[in-house]
Amino acid sequence: MFDTHAIARSLTDADLTPEQADAITNAIRQVAEHDMAGLATKADLAELRVELAGLEARLIKWMIGIVFAGAGLVIAVLRLIG
Specify the amino acid at residue 56: E
Tell me: the pLDDT tens digits for 2-27? 788 899 999 999 999 999 999 999 99
Q: How confident is the model at residue 1 (pLDDT cuts 50, 70, 90)?
A: low
Distance CA 75, CA 77 (A): 5
Q: Is the pLDDT of residue 37 over 80?
A: no
Q: How far apart are CA 10 and CA 24, in angstroms?
A: 11
Spans of all domains in the chain: 1-39, 40-82
One-letter amino acid at 40 equals: A
Query: Could you tell me the pLDDT band of residue 52, with boundaries at 50, 70 and 90?
Result: very high
Residues 9 and 18: beta-carbon distance below 8 Å: no
Would the pTM of this model clear 0.85, i.e. be above it?
A: no
By residue count, the chain amounts to: 82
Read off the pLDDT of each residue in 42-63 and give the average, rounded to a whole number. 97
